[in-house]
Structure 1
């Protein structure tokens, strides 16, 4: 902050015309941006800096910093005048940052969730320590209920025979690899539940790992032992099992009925492998280096499709947070009041040469697997949460949606 102020003072005192681009770059990209490693965070930082490093602030009287004019640059005056203006500024108004009013609801929901999570953890610890018969009976019911819903493992040998490695169809490899990943998770869940039944019956010792699983099951949370082998998810136990079974069913139907017309993007364990497979099919079909191929995106007006597109893939199961999609206008528009998420219609992922893709009139929308919007760099070189940037048509400048915090999600928290 001190360095940025000194630089701004130098530019104001030594230049007849303030070089706004230079000042913005030094403050946003160098002084602050140098400490920000994520490119999406730097994009937001620059959008916020541009609110205040503007020619209009200097040239216009009482320049508005937000559409309502609630925040504005005060008129010239003495020290007390400025203090009086500061006292009139309301607290916790997201508009100054360019956010939608729905962000207040999101904040309150997160705070409520934190409180209840803390209560559940305390209750679960007490229940686990008590070891009463009632908790054993409830735990046994949960274990039997989940075990009864789990299907058999995928037959990988039969899958590889039915969907062999073919040069022109990378989706065969994607299917088999996804089945293998889900088999590993399925076995982890099944074995832990079988051992839990034995421990409740007294046939084996209830070790620390089983105690942690029991505590999580009793308070309706997904055990850490499962999450170590799982895809990212913020759902509670009931929602997680329902979602897990839906994913298994998606791949079982793919195996039985052939490649689907519309892919459930949220259903993949390793989404990046599926997207790479779609690009690879296009690159091999037209003999183009895969490094020169990227996706263009077309949002359709329907939720179902009978025939696939000529190239690329149809994908569904994507939600928008911070904005909504207007099907009639075919562009991003403001969210409805008190509506936090909007499901997108089918999106056509169209592979194209990078040089042929235009970004004019579009918003680059980051897509995440969960609403946590953060992840770690895995051994594959991909983020564990970030998927890709969706290109969505918009009548607003990109900075508007950046400040709104608009993103696409593959999975909700419920």
Structure 2
């Protein structure tokens, strides 16, 4: 017996997505398309067009990777089907269109920031302007708009005349996003090629010598583990200084990582000499070393990172140096936030210091943020902390206006100056005129969903001043990253 598995992939492009929606049931059925109360047909047809456009937009936005959505959801035909039926039901049963009800989304979205993004996009298509204004623009350029009232066949013909390819502006995104998309596709291609190489011999087949050289080179640069006993004496647990505990805990975490790296490389060298058995884990480690990827054995004990092996190791050495300098010299005036293994512990420590200093319950505190005009500082603030090491993805920071601004062409990331992270009471926080910008540990943005509703890749929201509507930056997928991929 032969089993055949059939899959139905969504078509590529806004036009083909829209066309498929209109050619499929129930929209293509006259009994359904015309099943609308008298006088409501114009609103129904315009909002239906907006809904199908939104569905196509959500499908196509996934190709932009994390800037599109943190998690690439399915958004299949079943989602569209139930939404179409609900839209018709609400229009027929209510005298006025209940926009809040039809904008409600539930179920599939598991990431809060994706939910915010999709809600923002949906509000562009489910609103009175779409239902009432003739030829309402669906993109800033006006290339896409709601067609005049017509028959079902006229709507299909209108869709067939839409552009075959689409510019990023229809998604509310900057043109640089096309470069990011192409880079992701290229990276995926080369990663796949490297995986097929496996342990292919190099340099005349002298793989063992190459592995031995790589392992010895890494080991020669790896510092000794931190002396935790001395660290706890120098930086004891104090009620008024939570940073002492943060430092010691960070040292402990990096000690575990350095021990894994040191032990695994020593075992590789022994295995090459025939002193120990080359087991499955060691073989996977050697394959990763040969193709310049982070070994899975290290990743399990490591902080999140998408860097190649060389860049990852240099980054690790910089993090260790950051902690070593902190231990030798004392608290830094500016904290390199990208250098922490567990960033949330540092942020909690900042809040604890403030809460204990002013006798305020820590549950009543949140952070406010001020981006300074400097990249270095010799003195720290009296309250809160100065942090550095963040990169803007999807926008840039305008040093002159101290506001979020559009990216320069072909410049994908922008380093942001020192940010003053200051604890304040939640009821005193003023977010007017700001964009709530999520901070992620890596450009992948997604991680394991935690009990807070955020992914393990998420660090905190930073409120950045802007003279644009927050929705503008939400659709652009603007975020702050603790590290780049290379």
* Secondary structure of the structure 2 residue equivalent to 1:35: coil
* Secondary structure of the structure 1 residue equivalent to 2:220: helix
* Residue of structure 2 in register with 1:95 after alignment: 169
* Residue of structure 1 in register with 2:124 after alignment: 51
Q: Which runs of 5+ in 2 are unaligned?
A: 1-79
Q: How far apart are residue 295 of structure 1 and its match? A: 0.5
Note closer, same or farther for the CA distance 1:242–1:50 as it changes in structure 2 (3 Å cut): same
* Residue of structure 2 in register with 1:157 after alignment: 229
User: 2:135·2:148 contact (CA, 8 Å) conserved in 1?
Assistant: yes
* Residue of structure 2 in register with 1:138 after alignment: 210
* Residue of structure 1 in register with 2:8 after alignment: none
* Residue of structure 2 in register with 1:167 after alignment: 239
* Secondary structure of the structure 2 residue equivalent to 1:363: strand
* Residue of structure 2 in register with 1:374 after alignment: 446
* Residue of structure 2 in register with 1:119 after alignment: 193
Note closer, same or farther for the CA distance 1:125–1:140 as it changes in structure 2 (3 Å cut): closer
Note closer, same or farther for the CA distance 1:375–1:204 as it changes in structure 2 (3 Å cut): same
The yes-or-no answer on 1:3 pairing with 2:82 is: yes
Q: How far apart are residue 394 of structure 1 and its match? A: 1.3
Q: How far apart are residue 150 of structure 1 and its match? A: 0.5
Residue by residue, what CA displacement relative to the aligned partner does 1:328-356 show, whole Å, maximum 9, x if unpaired? 11111111111111111101101000000
Residue by residue, what CA displacement relative to the aligned partner does 1:3-52 show, whole Å, maximum 9, x if unpaired? 32233223333444323223223xxx2xxx33212211111110111110
Tell me the distance in 1 between the aligned counterparts of 2:304 and 2:450.
12
The yes-or-no answer on 1:24 pairing with 2:103 is: yes
Note closer, same or farther for the CA distance 1:225–1:86 as it changes in structure 2 (3 Å cut): same
Note closer, same or farther for the CA distance 1:342–1:57 as it changes in structure 2 (3 Å cut): same
- TM-score (norm. length: structure 2): 0.80
**Alignment partner for residue 275 of structure 1, among 334, 344, 347?**
347
Matches within 5 A, 1:223-372: 223-372=295-444
Q: How far apart are residue 123 of structure 1 and its match? A: 1.1
User: 1:247·1:268 contact (CA, 8 Å) conserved in 2?
Assistant: yes
Counting matched residue pairs gives 406
Q: How far apart are residue 133 of structure 1 and its match? A: 5.0
State the Cα RMSD in Å. Answer: 1.9
* Residue of structure 2 in register with 1:38 after alignment: 111
User: 1:232·1:384 contact (CA, 8 Å) conserved in 2?
Assistant: no
Q: How far apart are residue 381 of structure 1 and its match? A: 9.8
* Secondary structure of the structure 2 residue equivalent to 1:352: strand
* Residue of structure 1 in register with 2:150 after alignment: 77
* Residue of structure 1 in register with 2:62 after alignment: none
Q: How far apart are residue 379 of structure 1 and its match? A: 9.5
Residue by residue, what CA displacement relative to the aligned partner does 1:140-175 show, whole Å, maximum 9, x if unpaired? 111111111111111111111110001000000000
User: 1:181·1:269 contact (CA, 8 Å) conserved in 2?
Assistant: yes
- TM-score (norm. length: structure 1): 0.94
* Residue of structure 2 in register with 1:68 after alignment: 141
Note closer, same or farther for the CA distance 1:374–1:50 as it changes in structure 2 (3 Å cut): same
Note closer, same or farther for the CA distance 1:254–1:381 as it changes in structure 2 (3 Å cut): farther
